[in-house]
């Protein structure tokens, strides 16, 4: 094995100082960890010079790859002008205009630093607008780290809709009353819950494409109709899908417009920035000139609307606006998913290769995956082992949702597919020989 002195030293120091020796939930298979030093295009390099094709992409912001020259130039220009102002700046105003131009539901925008805050603010806007306290989220739906969002994120107990199961400790028990849980893609079950609790429901919040699961035809339209019937605010969490599935995100792709939508990742171009966008009347409550008014909503933060992040986001959106960018992202995704389907079929391992556009994940299960419960049937241990082989072949990839960028090449994808094919075949051989 190659020596990795700097990695070993830094990991020991991280273990001594940082909780869990990790800064995020991100976990490579086999318990491996990497300390990354730099990224360039579709590649990352660790502190010992090991190079990987990157399918993590910073958990999604880097849709145009690491250090895209246009993004670097925009950031360098802005940092010499000032890093943060806590006040209006031109890049963030232009970014607001861009979001409103491109996103169907966006009539107005407000900014935050992280996606977790954006979804938290969206729920607050909905509660202020309706005068109701409860919100409905879907089991397994991810909306960040807030107390609300941690309800039934990764529940381990049996389903007990609409009662939530907190995924984190430290969540106030009182919140359990106000977060209702429904199964994704099950409109009848959702409608029954909404109809029974409508008078206290402020919002339905949904990832329109939940993790790697497509909405079944009619599901989003059904949520729209339910929300309309009861005066509930429909919120799409587009922190993953926004500006990734197309210029107008999932709402444009699926043709169903929410009242509010949250954005993050891509709009910050790799820097901390997120936003809530939507109906003018809803956003208008977050007007600080209305302080003291009953329906005033507080949205403010030190780094909200940071100009460096806004400049990076604008440069990213400029690159994505160029001819053929989204077609290319879709084609890359199709190439990867098609290759993976063939690879697992050849290895004789039943697999669902999930995803859309530049998002993909393989789940080792022979039945269709339509919600959190069917996703949990997948053989996670086998996938971890196979992914470990792919990591060792020079790909930064975890056994979870993975991302492609505009600068990944067909050849890189084919090589990664080959690595999956070899690892899957080895796994299948070991399983049949009983090793």
- The residue from 110, 114, 190, 370 that contacts ligand PLP (CB under 6 A) is 114
CB of 268 to ligand PLP, least distance (A): 8
- The residue from 47, 239, 266, 397 that contacts ligand PLP (CB under 6 A) is 239
CB of 142 to ligand PLP, least distance (A): 5
Q: Which is nearer to ligand PLP, 46 or 237 (CB)?
A: 237
The residues in 160-219 that bind ligand PLP, with binding defined as CB under 6 A, are 207
Three-state SS string over the chain comes to CCCCHHHHHHHHHHHHHCHHHCCCCCCCHHHCCCCEEEEEECEEEECCCCEEEECCHHHCCCCCCECCHHHHHHHHHHHHHCCCCCCCCHHHHHHHHHHHHHCCCCCEEEEECCHHHHHHHHHHHHHHHHCCCEEEEECCCCCCCCCCCCECCCCCCCCCCCCCCECCCCCCHHHHHCEEEECCCCHHHHHHHHHHHHHHEEEEEECCCECCECCCCCHHHHHHHHHHHHCCEEEEECCCCCCCCCCCHHHHHHCCCCCEEEECHHHHCCCCCEEEEECHHHHHHHCHHHCCCCCCCCCCCCCCCCHHHHHHHHHHHHHHCCCCHHHHHHHHHHHHHHHHHHHHHHHCCCCEEECCCCEEEEECCCCCCCCHHHHCCCCHHHHHHHHHHHHHCCEECCCCCEECCCCCCHHHHHHHHHHHHHHHHHHHHHHHHCC
Q: Pick the stretch among 35-43, 235-243, 319-327, 427-435 that binds ligand PLP (CB under 6 A).
A: 235-243
CB of 63 to ligand PLP, least distance (A): 14
Side-chain-side CA neighbours of 115 within 13 Å: the count stands at 26
Backbone angles phi, psi at 32, to 5 degrees: -75, 150
- In the beta sheet, which residues pair with residue 36? 46
CB of 104 to ligand PLP, least distance (A): 18
The residues in 249-268 that bind ligand PLP, with binding defined as CB under 6 A, are 264
CB of 309 to ligand PLP, least distance (A): 11
Q: Which is nearer to ligand PLP, 26 or 86 (CB)?
A: 26
CB of 117 to ligand PLP, least distance (A): 7
Q: Pick the stretch among 112-120, 125-133, 198-206, 297-305 that binds ligand PLP (CB under 6 A).
A: 112-120
Q: Which is nearer to ligand PLP, 150 or 352 (CB)?
A: 150
Cα separation, 364 vs 367, whole angstroms: 9
CB of 345 to ligand PLP, least distance (A): 29
Q: Can residue 115 be called a binding residue for ligand PLP (CB under 6 A)? A: yes
Using Cβ positions, the residue closest to ligand PLP within the complex turns out to be 115
CB of 143 to ligand PLP, least distance (A): 5
How many residues belong to the site for ligand PLP (CB under 6 A)? 14
- The residue from 237, 259, 371, 385 that contacts ligand PLP (CB under 6 A) is 237
Q: Which is nearer to ligand PLP, 139 or 237 (CB)?
A: 237
The residues in 126-145 that bind ligand PLP, with binding defined as CB under 6 A, are 142-144
Q: Pick the stretch among 92-100, 233-241, 302-310, 332-340 that binds ligand PLP (CB under 6 A).
A: 233-241
The residues in 39-68 that bind ligand PLP, with binding defined as CB under 6 A, are 59
Q: Which is nearer to ligand PLP, 95 or 347 (CB)?
A: 95
CB of 317 to ligand PLP, least distance (A): 17
Residue ranges binding ligand PLP (CB under 6 A):
59, 114-116, 119, 142-144, 207, 237, 239-240, 264, 274
């Amino acid at each position: 094995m190659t020596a990795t002195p700097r990695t070993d030293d830094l990991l020991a120091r991280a273990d001594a100082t940082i909780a869990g020796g990790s800064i995020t939930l991100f976990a490579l298979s086999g318990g491996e960890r990497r300390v990354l030093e730099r990224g360039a295009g579709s590649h990352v390099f660790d502190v010992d010079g090991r190079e990987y094709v990157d399918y993590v992409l910073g958990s999604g912001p880097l849709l145009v790859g690491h250090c895209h020259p246009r993004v670097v130039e925009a950031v360098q220009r802005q940092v010499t002008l000032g890093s943060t102002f806590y006040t209006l700046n031109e890049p963030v105003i232009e970014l607001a205009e861009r979001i409103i131009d491109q996103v169907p539901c966006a009539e107005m925008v407000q900014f935050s630093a992280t996606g977790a805050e954006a979804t938290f603010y969206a729920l607050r806007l909905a509660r202020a607008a309706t005068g109701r306290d409860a919100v409905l989220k879907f089991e397994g739906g991810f909306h960040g780290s807030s107390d609300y969002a941690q309800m039934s994120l990764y529940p381990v107990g049996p389903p007990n809709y609409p009662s939530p199961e907190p995924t984190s400790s430290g969540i106030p028990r009182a919140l359990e009353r106000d977060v209702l849980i429904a199964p994704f893609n099950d409109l009848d079950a959702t409608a029954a819950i909404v109809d029974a609790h409508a008078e206290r429901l402020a919002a339905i919040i949904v990832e329109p494409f939940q993790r790697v699961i497509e909405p079944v035809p009619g599901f989003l339209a059904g949520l729209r109709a339910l929300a309309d019937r009861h005066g509930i605010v429909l919120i799409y969490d587009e922190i993953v899908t926004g500006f990734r599935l197309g210029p107008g995100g999932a709402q444009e792709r699926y043709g169903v417009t929410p009242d509010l939508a949250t954005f993050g990742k891509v709009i910050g171009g790799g820097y901390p920035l997120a936003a809530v966008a939507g109906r003018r009347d809803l956003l208008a409550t977050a007007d600080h000139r209305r302080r003291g008014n009953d329906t005033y909503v507080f949205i403010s933060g030190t780094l909200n609307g940071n100009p460096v992040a806004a400049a990076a986001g604008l440069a990213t959106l400029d690159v994505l606006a160029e001819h053929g960018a989204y077609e290319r992202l879709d084609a890359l995704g199709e190439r990867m998913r098609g290759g993976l389907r063939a690879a697992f079929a050849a290895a004789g391992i039943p697999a669902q290769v999930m995803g859309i556009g530049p998002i993909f994940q393989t789940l080792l299960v022979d039945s269709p995956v339509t919600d959190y419960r069917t996703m949990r049937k997948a053989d996670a241990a086998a996938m971890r082992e196979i992914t470990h082989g792919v990591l060792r072949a020079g790909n930064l990839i975890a056994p979870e949702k993975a991302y492609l960028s505009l600068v990944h090449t067909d050849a890189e994808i084919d090589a990664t597919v080959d690595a999956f094919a070899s690892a899957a075949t080895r796994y299948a051989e070991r399983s049949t020989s009983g090793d």
